[in-house]
């Protein structure tokens, strides 16, 4: 095992849970099919992503705000269409296929209802 692999393993088992404990928002998760998971810590960030607004000779790109979320892979495996309920009662849905990167699932969220 290389030093980087040992570091990654230590980070995933020690530092990652502390990161989620400090910055995670507690939500309940319900997949499109199957049983849900209560009390999932989710880290939310906002990002600006370029979106294609049409041709217009290469001038058709706009930037849009998007909520990007991540959860620890050891807690659950999210799927497209799954829903999270925030403490406020607002419901958000996973938009697109989640990506697994270094022990975390990353995915976009869209608001379904406000709390």
Please list the ranges in the chain whose pLDDT falls under 70: 1-4, 11-12, 48-66, 115
Determine the pLDDT at residue 9: 72
pLDDT tens digits for range 49-71 = 665 556 555 565 555 566 889 99
pTM reported for the whole predicted model: 0.74
Angle at 45 between CA 18 and CA 16, to 5 degrees: 20
Determine the pLDDT at residue 1: 45
Determine the pLDDT at residue 100: 94
What b/e sequence results for 81-94 when a residue is b if at least 16 CB atoms lie within 10 Å of its CB, and e otherwise?
A: ebbbbbeeeebbbb
Q: What are the C-alpha distances in Å from 97 to residues 30, 40, 58?
A: 15, 19, 28
Going from the N-terminus, what domains does the chain have, and what CATH number goes with each?
Answer: 3-113 (2.40.10)
Q: List 47's β-bridge partners, or say none.
A: 66
């Amino acid at each position: 095992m290389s030093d980087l692999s040992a570091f990654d393993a230590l980070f995933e088992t020690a530092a990652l849970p502390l990161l989620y404990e400090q910055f995670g928002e507690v939500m309940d998760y319900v997949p499109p099919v199957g049983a849900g998971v209560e009390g999932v810590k989710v880290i939310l960030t906002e990002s600006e992503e370029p979106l294609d607004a049409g041709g217009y000779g290469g001038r058709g790109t706009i930037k849009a705000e998007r909520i990007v979320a991540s959860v620890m892979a050891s807690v659950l495996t999210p799927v497209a269409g799954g829903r999270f309920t925030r403490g406020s009662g607002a419901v958000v849905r996973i938009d697109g296929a989640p990506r697994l990167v270094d022990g975390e699932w990353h995915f976009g969220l869209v608001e379904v209802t406000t709390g």
